[in-house]
Structure 1
Amino acid sequence: MVPQENSARHFKHVGLSAATGLAALLVCSHPASASSSTTPVPEPEAVFELVARQTQISSIDVDGSSGPSQGDEIVVSGDLIFGSATVGNFGEVCTMTRTAPLDEFDLQCAGSLTLAQGQITFQGQFTVTGAGPGDINFAITGGTGSYKTARGFIHAANVSDTDTQLTVHLIR
Protein backbone atom coordinates (compact mmCIF):
# COMPACT_ATOMS: atom_id res chain seq x y z
CA MET A 1 0.00 0.00 0.00
CA VAL A 2 1.16 3.55 -0.72
CA PRO A 3 1.88 5.94 2.15
CA GLN A 4 -1.10 8.12 3.07
CA GLU A 5 0.60 11.30 1.86
CA ASN A 6 0.99 9.91 -1.68
CA SER A 7 -2.53 8.49 -1.86
CA ALA A 8 -4.01 11.73 -0.53
CA ARG A 9 -2.03 13.71 -3.13
CA HIS A 10 -3.25 11.47 -5.98
CA PHE A 11 -6.78 11.54 -4.60
CA LYS A 12 -6.68 15.36 -4.34
CA HIS A 13 -5.20 15.70 -7.85
CA VAL A 14 -7.94 13.51 -9.30
CA GLY A 15 -10.72 15.51 -7.70
CA LEU A 16 -9.37 18.67 -9.18
CA SER A 17 -9.45 17.21 -12.67
CA ALA A 18 -13.08 16.33 -12.36
CA ALA A 19 -13.98 19.79 -11.22
CA THR A 20 -12.12 21.39 -14.06
CA GLY A 21 -14.03 19.40 -16.61
CA LEU A 22 -17.19 21.09 -15.52
CA ALA A 23 -15.81 24.57 -15.73
CA ALA A 24 -15.40 24.38 -19.47
CA LEU A 25 -19.07 23.89 -20.03
CA LEU A 26 -20.09 27.27 -18.71
CA VAL A 27 -18.61 29.30 -21.53
CA CYS A 28 -20.48 27.61 -24.35
CA SER A 29 -23.64 29.36 -25.49
CA HIS A 30 -24.17 27.85 -28.93
CA PRO A 31 -27.81 26.84 -29.43
CA ALA A 32 -28.61 23.35 -30.63
CA SER A 33 -29.10 22.99 -34.35
CA ALA A 34 -32.68 23.16 -35.62
CA SER A 35 -33.84 21.64 -38.88
CA SER A 36 -37.15 21.76 -40.76
CA SER A 37 -36.17 18.65 -42.71
CA THR A 38 -37.53 15.21 -41.80
CA THR A 39 -34.00 13.80 -41.92
CA PRO A 40 -32.23 14.07 -38.56
CA VAL A 41 -29.37 16.54 -38.65
CA PRO A 42 -26.52 16.03 -36.19
CA GLU A 43 -26.40 18.75 -33.59
CA PRO A 44 -23.28 20.91 -33.64
CA GLU A 45 -20.67 20.20 -31.03
CA ALA A 46 -19.04 23.16 -29.32
CA VAL A 47 -15.48 22.47 -28.14
CA PHE A 48 -13.77 24.89 -25.74
CA GLU A 49 -11.26 24.97 -22.88
CA LEU A 50 -11.52 26.21 -19.28
CA VAL A 51 -9.49 25.97 -16.10
CA ALA A 52 -10.99 24.66 -12.85
CA ARG A 53 -9.09 26.21 -9.95
CA GLN A 54 -9.48 24.35 -6.66
CA THR A 55 -10.15 26.58 -3.62
CA GLN A 56 -11.34 23.97 -1.08
CA ILE A 57 -10.78 20.23 -0.66
CA SER A 58 -11.69 17.74 2.07
CA SER A 59 -11.10 14.00 2.37
CA ILE A 60 -13.32 11.55 4.21
CA ASP A 61 -11.62 8.33 5.36
CA VAL A 62 -14.36 5.78 6.09
CA ASP A 63 -12.29 3.16 7.90
CA GLY A 64 -9.44 5.13 9.47
CA SER A 65 -6.73 3.21 7.59
CA SER A 66 -3.51 4.89 6.50
CA GLY A 67 -4.18 4.47 2.79
CA PRO A 68 -6.98 4.50 0.26
CA SER A 69 -9.92 2.19 0.94
CA GLN A 70 -13.25 1.53 -0.71
CA GLY A 71 -15.78 4.20 0.25
CA ASP A 72 -13.27 6.99 0.97
CA GLU A 73 -14.47 10.30 -0.46
CA ILE A 74 -13.01 13.58 -1.58
CA VAL A 75 -15.04 16.79 -1.85
CA VAL A 76 -13.69 19.59 -4.06
CA SER A 77 -14.91 23.08 -4.94
CA GLY A 78 -13.44 26.10 -6.65
CA ASP A 79 -13.60 28.70 -9.39
CA LEU A 80 -14.06 28.27 -13.13
CA ILE A 81 -11.67 30.41 -15.17
CA PHE A 82 -11.93 31.42 -18.84
CA GLY A 83 -8.93 33.46 -20.00
CA SER A 84 -8.24 35.60 -16.94
CA ALA A 85 -11.88 35.94 -15.82
CA THR A 86 -13.71 33.92 -13.19
CA VAL A 87 -16.93 32.80 -14.90
CA GLY A 88 -18.47 30.54 -12.25
CA ASN A 89 -17.74 27.88 -9.69
CA PHE A 90 -17.82 24.10 -9.42
CA GLY A 91 -18.33 21.39 -6.85
CA GLU A 92 -17.81 17.63 -6.99
CA VAL A 93 -17.72 14.54 -4.83
CA CYS A 94 -15.56 11.52 -5.72
CA THR A 95 -15.95 8.13 -4.06
CA MET A 96 -13.28 5.43 -4.15
CA THR A 97 -14.96 2.37 -5.68
CA ARG A 98 -11.98 0.01 -6.05
CA THR A 99 -8.52 -0.37 -4.56
CA ALA A 100 -5.69 -2.53 -5.87
CA PRO A 101 -2.06 -3.24 -5.05
CA LEU A 102 0.68 -0.90 -6.21
CA ASP A 103 -1.08 2.38 -5.34
CA GLU A 104 -3.96 1.97 -7.77
CA PHE A 105 -7.63 2.85 -7.21
CA ASP A 106 -10.78 3.87 -9.09
CA LEU A 107 -12.82 6.99 -8.38
CA GLN A 108 -16.47 7.59 -9.29
CA CYS A 109 -17.15 11.36 -9.44
CA ALA A 110 -20.28 13.48 -9.79
CA GLY A 111 -20.42 17.25 -9.84
CA SER A 112 -21.80 20.44 -11.25
CA LEU A 113 -20.69 23.71 -12.76
CA THR A 114 -22.62 26.75 -11.60
CA LEU A 115 -22.76 29.54 -14.15
CA ALA A 116 -24.81 32.67 -14.70
CA GLN A 117 -26.86 30.80 -17.37
CA GLY A 118 -27.54 27.71 -15.23
CA GLN A 119 -25.84 24.56 -14.02
CA ILE A 120 -24.15 21.74 -15.93
CA THR A 121 -23.89 18.32 -14.31
CA PHE A 122 -21.31 15.61 -15.01
CA GLN A 123 -20.33 12.13 -13.87
CA GLY A 124 -17.72 9.45 -14.56
CA GLN A 125 -15.16 6.98 -13.31
CA PHE A 126 -11.40 6.85 -13.81
CA THR A 127 -8.32 5.03 -12.48
CA VAL A 128 -5.46 6.55 -10.46
CA THR A 129 -2.06 4.80 -10.31
CA GLY A 130 1.23 5.63 -8.62
CA ALA A 131 1.98 7.84 -11.63
CA GLY A 132 -1.26 9.80 -11.12
CA PRO A 133 -4.60 9.76 -12.90
CA GLY A 134 -4.73 8.48 -16.44
CA ASP A 135 -7.25 9.77 -18.96
CA ILE A 136 -10.08 11.55 -17.20
CA ASN A 137 -13.30 11.79 -19.18
CA PHE A 138 -16.69 12.67 -17.73
CA ALA A 139 -20.11 12.38 -19.30
CA ILE A 140 -22.19 15.55 -19.31
CA THR A 141 -25.42 14.31 -17.74
CA GLY A 142 -27.65 17.38 -18.01
CA GLY A 143 -28.19 20.79 -16.52
CA THR A 144 -30.55 23.64 -15.72
CA GLY A 145 -31.43 26.95 -17.36
CA SER A 146 -29.65 27.42 -20.69
CA TYR A 147 -28.02 24.00 -20.22
CA LYS A 148 -31.20 21.96 -19.57
CA THR A 149 -30.53 19.76 -22.64
CA ALA A 150 -26.75 19.57 -22.25
CA ARG A 151 -24.92 16.39 -23.22
CA GLY A 152 -21.45 15.47 -24.43
CA PHE A 153 -18.24 14.88 -22.48
CA ILE A 154 -15.39 16.65 -20.69
CA HIS A 155 -11.71 15.67 -20.87
CA ALA A 156 -9.71 16.84 -17.84
CA ALA A 157 -5.93 17.15 -17.45
CA ASN A 158 -4.18 18.29 -14.28
CA VAL A 159 -1.74 21.13 -14.98
CA SER A 160 -0.78 21.95 -11.35
CA ASP A 161 -1.72 21.06 -7.78
CA THR A 162 -4.69 23.45 -7.98
CA ASP A 163 -5.51 23.83 -11.70
CA THR A 164 -7.10 21.40 -14.12
CA GLN A 165 -7.49 22.13 -17.82
CA LEU A 166 -10.84 21.07 -19.23
CA THR A 167 -11.64 20.42 -22.84
CA VAL A 168 -15.40 20.47 -23.09
CA HIS A 169 -17.31 18.79 -25.93
CA LEU A 170 -20.81 20.22 -25.48
CA ILE A 171 -23.93 19.41 -27.43
CA ARG A 172 -27.17 21.25 -26.60
Structure 2
Amino acid sequence: MRRAALMVVSLALTVALAAPVAVWAAGGRGGKKQGRVLTVIEHATTDATTDTGAAGDSAGDILTFANEVFDRTDARKVGTDQGFCIRVVVGTSFECNWTTLLADGQITVEGPFLDAGDSTLAVTGGTGRYRNARGFMKLHSLENGTKYSFEFHLVG
Protein backbone atom coordinates (compact mmCIF):
# COMPACT_ATOMS: atom_id res chain seq x y z
CA MET A 1 0.00 0.00 0.00
CA ARG A 2 2.82 2.34 0.91
CA ARG A 3 4.59 1.54 -2.35
CA ALA A 4 1.42 2.28 -4.35
CA ALA A 5 0.95 5.62 -2.56
CA LEU A 6 4.58 6.54 -3.23
CA MET A 7 4.14 5.74 -6.92
CA VAL A 8 0.97 7.87 -7.13
CA VAL A 9 2.73 10.83 -5.46
CA SER A 10 5.74 10.40 -7.74
CA LEU A 11 3.52 10.31 -10.85
CA ALA A 12 1.60 13.39 -9.68
CA LEU A 13 4.86 15.33 -9.17
CA THR A 14 6.12 14.31 -12.61
CA VAL A 15 2.89 15.50 -14.27
CA ALA A 16 2.88 18.74 -12.24
CA LEU A 17 6.45 19.57 -13.30
CA ALA A 18 6.14 18.49 -16.94
CA ALA A 19 3.77 21.28 -18.05
CA PRO A 20 5.83 24.24 -16.77
CA VAL A 21 9.02 22.70 -18.17
CA ALA A 22 7.35 22.22 -21.58
CA VAL A 23 6.15 25.84 -21.60
CA TRP A 24 9.63 27.07 -20.63
CA ALA A 25 11.30 24.94 -23.31
CA ALA A 26 8.92 26.31 -25.94
CA GLY A 27 9.81 29.90 -25.14
CA GLY A 28 7.23 30.55 -22.43
CA ARG A 29 4.26 30.63 -24.79
CA GLY A 30 2.97 27.08 -24.67
CA GLY A 31 4.65 26.19 -27.96
CA LYS A 32 3.66 29.35 -29.85
CA LYS A 33 6.97 31.10 -30.46
CA GLN A 34 5.85 34.63 -31.12
CA GLY A 35 8.67 36.84 -32.24
CA ARG A 36 9.47 39.65 -34.55
CA VAL A 37 12.31 40.72 -36.79
CA LEU A 38 13.48 44.32 -36.64
CA THR A 39 16.10 45.51 -39.12
CA VAL A 40 18.04 48.76 -38.93
CA ILE A 41 21.02 50.03 -40.91
CA GLU A 42 24.00 51.47 -39.03
CA HIS A 43 26.20 54.11 -40.69
CA ALA A 44 29.67 53.34 -39.28
CA THR A 45 31.00 56.91 -39.30
CA THR A 46 32.59 57.20 -35.84
CA ASP A 47 34.35 53.83 -35.48
CA ALA A 48 37.76 54.37 -33.86
CA THR A 49 40.35 51.82 -32.79
CA THR A 50 42.64 52.52 -29.83
CA ASP A 51 45.95 50.66 -29.95
CA THR A 52 46.54 49.36 -26.42
CA GLY A 53 49.50 47.02 -26.75
CA ALA A 54 51.88 46.14 -29.52
CA ALA A 55 51.85 48.53 -32.47
CA GLY A 56 49.21 47.71 -35.07
CA ASP A 57 46.41 45.17 -34.85
CA SER A 58 46.93 43.23 -31.61
CA ALA A 59 44.90 41.47 -28.93
CA GLY A 60 43.45 43.96 -26.47
CA ASP A 61 42.95 46.83 -28.94
CA ILE A 62 39.63 48.62 -28.37
CA LEU A 63 37.13 49.65 -31.04
CA THR A 64 34.58 52.27 -29.92
CA PHE A 65 31.64 53.78 -31.78
CA ALA A 66 28.51 55.92 -31.49
CA ASN A 67 26.71 55.89 -34.83
CA GLU A 68 23.36 56.79 -36.37
CA VAL A 69 20.96 53.99 -37.34
CA PHE A 70 18.34 54.15 -40.08
CA ASP A 71 15.23 52.17 -41.00
CA ARG A 72 15.53 48.96 -43.03
CA THR A 73 15.34 50.94 -46.30
CA ASP A 74 18.18 53.23 -45.11
CA ALA A 75 15.96 56.25 -45.76
CA ARG A 76 15.03 57.61 -42.33
CA LYS A 77 17.08 57.98 -39.15
CA VAL A 78 15.43 55.97 -36.36
CA GLY A 79 18.06 56.12 -33.61
CA THR A 80 21.68 55.68 -32.64
CA ASP A 81 23.98 53.05 -31.23
CA GLN A 82 26.98 53.09 -28.95
CA GLY A 83 29.41 50.48 -27.80
CA PHE A 84 32.82 48.91 -27.76
CA CYS A 85 34.67 45.85 -28.97
CA ILE A 86 37.91 44.31 -27.75
CA ARG A 87 40.22 42.60 -30.22
CA VAL A 88 40.48 38.94 -29.24
CA VAL A 89 41.92 37.10 -32.24
CA VAL A 90 44.10 39.26 -34.50
CA GLY A 91 42.77 39.41 -38.04
CA THR A 92 39.74 37.31 -37.11
CA SER A 93 37.44 38.71 -34.41
CA PHE A 94 36.51 41.20 -31.72
CA GLU A 95 34.21 40.58 -28.74
CA CYS A 96 31.59 43.35 -28.61
CA ASN A 97 28.94 44.90 -26.40
CA TRP A 98 26.63 47.66 -27.60
CA THR A 99 23.23 49.26 -27.29
CA THR A 100 20.95 50.35 -30.12
CA LEU A 101 18.83 53.28 -28.96
CA LEU A 102 15.46 53.65 -30.70
CA ALA A 103 12.48 55.93 -30.04
CA ASP A 104 10.54 53.19 -28.23
CA GLY A 105 13.41 51.64 -26.25
CA GLN A 106 16.88 50.18 -26.31
CA ILE A 107 18.24 46.77 -27.35
CA THR A 108 21.57 45.52 -25.98
CA VAL A 109 23.68 42.87 -27.72
CA GLU A 110 26.87 41.01 -26.93
CA GLY A 111 29.04 38.67 -28.96
CA PRO A 112 31.63 38.31 -31.69
CA PHE A 113 32.26 40.72 -34.54
CA LEU A 114 34.02 38.80 -37.30
CA ASP A 115 36.49 40.52 -39.61
CA ALA A 116 35.15 38.50 -42.56
CA GLY A 117 31.60 37.26 -42.96
CA ASP A 118 28.44 37.75 -40.98
CA SER A 119 28.30 37.64 -37.20
CA THR A 120 25.55 36.55 -34.82
CA LEU A 121 25.30 38.22 -31.42
CA ALA A 122 23.06 37.50 -28.43
CA VAL A 123 20.35 39.97 -27.47
CA THR A 124 21.04 40.39 -23.75
CA GLY A 125 18.20 42.72 -22.84
CA GLY A 126 16.41 45.96 -23.50
CA THR A 127 14.27 48.79 -22.21
CA GLY A 128 10.88 50.27 -23.10
CA ARG A 129 9.14 48.25 -25.79
CA TYR A 130 12.09 45.83 -25.71
CA ARG A 131 12.28 45.40 -21.91
CA ASN A 132 11.66 41.63 -22.12
CA ALA A 133 13.65 41.13 -25.30
CA ARG A 134 15.81 38.12 -25.87
CA GLY A 135 16.95 36.43 -29.03
CA PHE A 136 19.78 37.16 -31.42
CA MET A 137 21.02 39.74 -33.91
CA LYS A 138 22.49 38.98 -37.32
CA LEU A 139 25.16 41.50 -38.31
CA HIS A 140 25.86 41.92 -42.02
CA SER A 141 28.45 44.25 -43.56
CA LEU A 142 27.24 46.58 -46.31
CA GLU A 143 29.19 48.87 -48.64
CA ASN A 144 32.63 47.55 -47.64
CA GLY A 145 32.00 48.01 -43.92
CA THR A 146 30.80 51.62 -44.06
CA LYS A 147 27.30 50.43 -43.16
CA TYR A 148 25.95 47.40 -41.29
CA SER A 149 22.58 45.69 -41.26
CA PHE A 150 21.40 44.82 -37.74
CA GLU A 151 18.68 42.16 -38.04
CA PHE A 152 17.22 41.64 -34.57
CA HIS A 153 15.28 38.40 -34.07
CA LEU A 154 13.34 39.15 -30.89
CA VAL A 155 11.17 37.09 -28.60
CA GLY A 156 9.61 38.69 -25.54
What TM-score bracket applies, with the shorter chain setting the length?
Answer: 0.7 to 0.9
Offset at residue 145 of structure 1 (A): 1.5
Letter in structure 2 aligned against 1:110: N
1:105 corresponds, among 85, 92, 96, to 92
Q: d(CA) in 1 for partners of 2:104 and 2:29?
A: 31
Offset at residue 64 of structure 1 (A): 4.5
Cα RMSD for the two superposed structures: 1.9
Q: Could you tell me the percent identity over the aligned residues? A: 28
2:47 corresponds, among 54, 57, 65, to 57
Q: d(CA) in 1 for partners of 2:32 and 2:129?
A: 19
Q: Which runs of 5+ in 1 are unaligned?
A: 1-37
SS in 1 for 2:129: helix
Closer, same or farther: CA 149–39 of 1 in aligned 2, 3 Å: closer
Instruction: After superposing the two structures, state which structure 1 stretch, 104-113 or 46-55, moved more.
Output: 46-55
- Cα displacement string for residues 72-120 of structure 1 (whole angstroms, at most 9, x for unaligned residues): 0111121111131111100120101123xxxx33210000011111111
Closer, same or farther: CA 127–56 of 1 in aligned 2, 3 Å: closer
Q: Which runs of 5+ in 2 are unaligned?
A: 1-27
Q: Which residue of 1 aligns with 2:5?
A: none
Letter in structure 1 aligned against 2:102: L
Q: d(CA) in 2 for partners of 1:150 and 1:126?
A: 21
Offset at residue 58 of structure 1 (A): 1.5
Q: Which residue of 2 aligns with 1:162?
A: 146
- Conserved 8 A contact 1:126-1:136: yes
SS in 2 for 1:56: coil
Q: d(CA) in 2 for partners of 1:139 and 1:95?
A: 16
Q: d(CA) in 2 for partners of 1:111 and 1:127?
A: 15
Offset at residue 39 of structure 1 (A): 7.5
- Conserved 8 A contact 1:73-1:95: yes
SS in 1 for 2:44: strand
- Conserved 8 A contact 2:42-2:67: yes
Q: Does 1:120 align with 2:107?
A: yes
TM-score by length of structure 2 reads 0.73
Q: d(CA) in 2 for partners of 1:55 and 1:39?
A: 40
Letter in structure 1 aligned against 2:127: T
- Conserved 8 A contact 1:126-1:134: no
- Conserved 8 A contact 1:156-1:164: yes
Which structure would you say has the larger Rg? 2
Letter in structure 1 aligned against 2:95: Q
Runs of 4+ in 1 over 3 A off after TM superposition: none
Q: Which residue of 2 aligns with 1:11?
A: none
SS in 2 for 1:70: coil
